[in-house]
Amino acid sequence: MGAPALSVDADGDLIARYLGGEELAAAELVRRHASALARFIAAHGAPEDELEDLTQETLFKAFRALGTFRGGASFRTWLLAIGGNVLKDRRRRWRRDQVVALTPDIRDPSGDPGLEAEAGWTAERLEQGVAKLARLQREVFLMRAQQGLGYDEIASGLGISEGAARVHYHHAVKRLKAWIA
Amino acid sequence: MDRMNEGMPPEIGTAWKALEARASERAARVDVERVTARVLERLRREGAVEPRLRWMSPAVLRAAAAVVVLVAAAAVVRVATERSGQAARLPVGIPAMDSLSSHQLEAVLQAAGEVAPAADTVAPAASGGSLDDLTEAQLETLLASMNGAEG
């Protein structure tokens, strides 16, 4: 329990230093969280060629809004929530671009999976399933399954109740299970 | 604690591991140092803080909007009042000007110049203040009246 608290405090110090005008503190925060953020965004099904740009965009927006960070959730969780908003804005474009690529699978979900390795196929199906989840279900699922966050932390980051976070997670798992079945 | 497996069926757990491995692989190609440099560069270029207005609370924004509406309404009422005042003065005054001499007209204009600033407590007092408030058409009418009186 001690390690996460220390980590949050350290982020808090860096945030205070950045808000005090120390640019290097921002650089340290980016180095500390960019990889996890990129993984979170990648698991949403973001195209690889946009991954770096999305990571950068999320961090930029976060630093510009840093004055509103109240510390209810950790900086990492807050950052992921902003990443979710950035992804929401981009999703329209992906939907438009991915229509052609995804159509064969969507039309024929029982296509011959034997042509691909089972693990690769299910991972691909799961990625599609994650992308098809309702936004809050997707974010809660990824925050918990990928980032290992507790429901209380997820709830603070997304501005929902802990019970709602729990429900979203279980609905997400249920839908994903049905999707890859 | 492995939260990933909590309530997650094994078939999803297996697929999830594969998906997570792919996500990690993609994320590993993100150049963190380049991202850092670009974020800092954008913060320098576009400003480190979002414009204040965007981060005001809804209550403050509502109050600010109410003030703007009140000020705008007051301005509209003032302009409408001034225009109606001019509209009432000019049509009555202009026909009578035909019969005035140039000296009498100057006296009328001087009087108008003295009265108008008193009606407008905001605008700085100026000798030609009331004339500035007239529209182009009203000024032309007034000048035509003056020419007619002199001719």
Separation CA B24–CA A63 (nearest Å): 24
Residue A8 within a domain: no
Q: Find the closest chain A residue to B46 by CA distance.
A: A64
Burial (Cβ within 10 Å: 0-12, 13-18, ≥19) of residue A70? exposed
Burial (Cβ within 10 Å: 0-12, 13-18, ≥19) of residue B60? exposed
Residue A133 within a domain: yes
Domain layout of chain B by residue ranges: 9-48, 76-150
Q: Name residues 23-82 of chain A within 8 A of B (Cβ).
A: 23, 26-27, 30-31, 34-35, 38-39, 41-43, 48, 51-52, 55-56, 59-60, 63-65, 67-68
The pLDDT of residue B142 is 66
CB pairs under 8 A between A and B: 131
| Tens digit of each residue's pLDDT (9 = 90 or more) over B9-57 | 777 888 888 888 989 999 999 999 999 999 999 999 988 776 554 445 6
The pLDDT of residue B85 is 65
Burial (Cβ within 10 Å: 0-12, 13-18, ≥19) of residue A82? buried
State the residue range of the domain holding A113: 32-60+72-180
| Tens digit of each residue's pLDDT (9 = 90 or more) over A87-109 | 988 887 766 765 443 333 333 33
Q: Give the helix/strand (H/E) hosting B146.
A: helix B136-150
| Tens digit of each residue's pLDDT (9 = 90 or more) over A18-45 | 999 899 999 999 999 999 999 999 998 8
**How close does chain B come to A154, measured CA to CA in Å?**
13
Q: Report the pLDDT averaged over residues B93-98.
A: 53
Helix, coil or strand: residue A21: coil
The beta-strand segments (E) located in B2-141 are: none
Residue A65 within a domain: no
Number of folded domains that form chain A: 1
Q: Find the closest chain A residue to B54 by CA distance.
A: A65
What are the tokens at B5? 């497996």
Residue B23 CB coordination number (10 Å) = 26
| Tens digit of each residue's pLDDT (9 = 90 or more) over A115-173 | 446 667 778 888 889 989 999 999 999 999 999 999 999 999 999 999 999 999 999 99
Of B30, B44, B47, the CB nearest to A34: B30
Contact assignment for A39 to B42 by CB distance below 8 Å = no
The complex's ipTM works out to: 0.76
**Eight-state DSSP code of residue A102:** H
Contact assignment for A30 to B35 by CB distance below 8 Å = yes
pTM, to two decimals: 0.60
What are the tokens at B9? 């069926």
Separation CA B123–CA B113 (nearest Å): 13
